[in-house]
Structure formats: structure tokens, C-alpha cells
Structure 1
Amino acid sequence: MKKKSERNTAIILLLVGAMALAGGIYLFIGKLEFLKNATVTDGVVTDLESGSSKNGRTYRPVVTYRASEAEEQTFVSQMGASPAAYEVGEAVKVRYEKGKPSTAVIDSFWEVWGTITVAAGLGAIFLAIGIGTIYAAVRSKRLRKELPSTGRMIELPGRTEMVQSKSKTEFYIRTEWHNTEDGKLYQFDSEKLNFDPTPFLTNRLVQVWIDPQSPKKRYFVDVSFLPEEA
């Protein structure tokens, strides 16, 4: 890995992604069992329960339905929306397990599968980011090992570019190369840095190792001349 912090971040993303995906699978299996045993009946939205969120107020429908045992049951949906997804007096279908009124949900895709979809989706995203980070690091390490013996080194002027986010500011060195053989202009970026390398670029050319057959995808910018980060 280029940095220890990146390796740790990738590991955390993989763990969080795996846990979220495993949770989604567990919920999915439980939901299939619920659907196998559940009964569908008619219900009506009798009220809207309001609450606050980052996007303002959300509204969860309060639903009353009559179970097959003939007693009337009421539950509050776990899914809120803004604006309200249902109106008071609106007829809905309710799915529940006999003898287990606490299992009742509005029979719609989002009400039944929403939590599972979110958990599995987030898990897949975190896993993809973590795997992508590790793949990029392994690929970069391989190029650094291969290209000095199989590729070509070119020396180019470098300039500092900056990337800002809410949590941090990072820098990288950008170089450009006009290949007279194919007439194309190639752009090469170094790995991300936690400090501004501008003072170390004065009167210096940056070494870039490229694969002549695929310079756009297979290259690395040598930043070994920079001081090590504390």
C-alpha cells in the first residue's frame, strides 16, 4: 500500500461492508420465512406520526387492520417519508403472521424490503470501495517493481495539484508528456500526499516510468525524492 492509513481504511471498509452485507443476507433469509408464513389483509391509515430528520419532518403511517382472529390491531410503520407517502383514511394492504401482530407491515416493496435493500446496498458499496482501494495499491506496487526493468523513464516538469474535502486536504504531483510518436498528450498523476510538495519541485524534473505500449494506464510517478511523511 502507498500509505499505512490507506491500508487501514481499506481494511475498515472491507470489514464494514462484509458486516453490512452479512446483515442484509441474514435479514433476507428471515424475510423469506416471514413471507412464507404471512397473511395479507386489508388495513387503513388512521393517523400520521411525525418526527424530525436531517431533511425536515418525516411522517410514518399509523395503520389499523383486522386480523383473522377478528381483533383489531394497530401498528406504526418503520418507514417514514417527507412528504408523507400515505394519507389518513387511505386503504392499504397489510401483511402479518397469525398470532404475531408485532410482525405487521404495509404490503409494499419498500416497507417489506427497504431495510434489507439499504443494508445490502451499503455493504456492497463499502466492499467495492475497499476491494478497489486494495486492487489499486497492489497494481501500483506491481508497476513500481516491473517498469524500471521493462518500461521507459522520462523526466518531466511537475506541478502541484490539490484535492480538498470536508475532512482533509491532499496534494499530488501532475506531469504532462507530449508523445511525438503518436502525437498525443498524456497526463500523469502521482500518489496522494499529505503535504504540499511545491517547494521540492523547484528546478527539478520529475521521473515518470511508463509502459511504452500503454502509457495512459501503466505508469507511475516517482516521488522518492520527497521527504518521508512524519
Structure 2
Amino acid sequence: MGSIGWWIGGIFTPIGLLFAAIGFSFLASDRELATAGVRTTGVVIENIKSRDSDGDLLYSPVVAFHDVSGVRHIYQSSTKTNWSDYSRGETVELIYNPDDPTDAVINSVMDRFFLPSMFAGLGSIFALIGAGFLSVNLKRKLEVAKLKRSNLRLEAEFVKCVRDTKIDINGRHPFRVHARGKHPRTGRLARFESAPIWLDLTDQLSGRTVPVLVDARTSKKHYVQLDEWVSGKEWA
């Protein structure tokens, strides 16, 4: 997977962890408010309308309620939906912070858990995807290092250099070198595939052999050495 995997993992993992941390911090704040807050009822006085980036209409309820001192407060939900959950004049239950009544929330699953669950869920998914890419690349890096230490190599016949259409980076597909040769220990004919690169090496390698490092027991674990032709950012 090369630098592509490190790049994807390096972006997805921290972003995912950040989103997950935000989500769990929201959940922690909600738990604190639910534990120490005061429950009361309020009346929906309005549904504020807005539009999202696609132009779709969104609704956010505005609720009037009184604290234990009888002071009237106005609360607008931060949760916006494509439908209006509440009708004007409807009575709803709220939880508010007695030290700061402006810190309030409608006591419903949508208002209390939608944003925290979205951040925590998406963040966890992003982090897992990123960690998956990083772990695969780390495993491959350790595998290549082991192959280099064992230094069991062969000169494989160049077959072709073709684009790997399974990998798409901004509409670009990297190349892979394909070669074949006999395993130096088993004598079996095997096919080998290089890491993705941004070069078409067909002209350079036609009619030549390429060095390949292989595991002593299986040709499935191999590393096509292209350092003579590929360097730096030319690795995908």
C-alpha cells in the first residue's frame, strides 16, 4: 500500500480520534447535566427554519421555560432536523443547569444523543479505518524488513507494468510491476507484484529481470526491489 496507506491512515486516525473525543465529551456533559440538572417543562413557541448546504429546509425548536425562581428563559435546540418534531404550543420536558439556566436541553433521545452519537460513531469509524491502514502498512514494513534481513533473492523475468485500477487517488491510478520466476528453495514458478508506483517502467524493464526478495517457505511473501528505478515520491 506504500505511502498511500500511510497517508490515508495518518489523516483518518487523528481526525477520527478527534471526532470521537468530541462525541464522548458531549456524552459526558450530558450525563453531568442529567445528574445535577433540574427537570422542568416548557412550551414550544417557535420552530426556527434554516437551510442546509443542499438547500433542504431544517427545523430547530425554540422553547420558553421558567426556572425554580420563576425567571423566564428561552432555549433554542442545537439539533436541526428535516422535519418538525414539535408543534407550536406543545409542552416538552427540559433539563437545565441550576447555576446557568441557559445551559439546557430538551429531554429527548434526538436532542440529547443525536450529535454526541454522530460524532462518536463517525469518529470511531474513521479511527478504525485509519488504524487499519496503518496496521497493514506497519505489518508490510516489518515483513519487508525481515525479507531484507534473510536476503533470499532471485532475478525474476519482467512481465508487465500495468495500472492498478483498484487504487484511485484523485482520479489517478498507480502502476505495479509484474514479474515471474522460480522460487530459489522450492523451484516452483511464481508470480510477483511490486508495491504501487507512479511510473510506467515498461520501457526500462522490457527484456530484463528485476530482483525479488522472497520468504524461504512461500513466494506469497515477497518484495520486488525497484530502488534502482524508483525513488522518493515516485512510490505511490
Higher mean displacement: 17-26 or 111-120: 17-26
CA contact (8 A) 2:153 2:213 kept: yes
Task: Tell me the C-alpha RMSD between the 2 structures.
Answer: 3.8
Deviation at 1:174, TM superposition (A): 6.4
Change (3 A) 1:196 1:41: farther
The secondary structure found in structure 1 opposite 2:143 is helix
Structure number with greater CO (CA < 8 Å, separation at least 6) is 2
- Determine which structure has the larger strand proportion and give its number: 1
Which residue does 1:118 correspond to in 2? 118
Distance in 2, Cα, partners of 1:202 & 1:68: 84
Deviation at 1:212, TM superposition (A): 7.6
Identity %: 22
Change (3 A) 1:135 1:87: same
Which residue does 2:33 correspond to in 1? 34
Change (3 A) 1:226 1:65: same
The secondary structure found in structure 2 opposite 1:56 is coil
Aligned amino acid, residue 195 of structure 2: E
Deviation at 1:144, TM superposition (A): 1.7
Higher mean displacement: 187-196 or 57-66: 187-196
Counterpart check, 1:173 vs 2:176: yes
The secondary structure found in structure 1 opposite 2:39 is strand
Distance in 2, Cα, partners of 1:200 & 1:135: 33
Counterpart check, 1:193 vs 2:197: yes
TM-score by length of 1: 0.70
Deviations 1:146-191 (A, max 9, x none): 34638786656234124334x35241316498xxxxxxxx986533
The secondary structure found in structure 2 opposite 1:80 is coil
Distance in 2, Cα, partners of 1:160 & 1:13: 28
Distance in 1, Cα, partners of 2:42 & 2:55: 28
CA contact (8 A) 1:94 1:107 kept: yes
Aligned amino acid, residue 121 of structure 1: G
Change (3 A) 1:72 1:228: same
Distance in 2, Cα, partners of 1:21 & 1:91: 33
Distance in 2, Cα, partners of 1:197 & 1:229: 16
Deviation at 1:78, TM superposition (A): 0.5
CA contact (8 A) 1:158 1:206 kept: no
Counterpart check, 1:143 vs 2:143: yes
Deviation at 1:102, TM superposition (A): 1.3
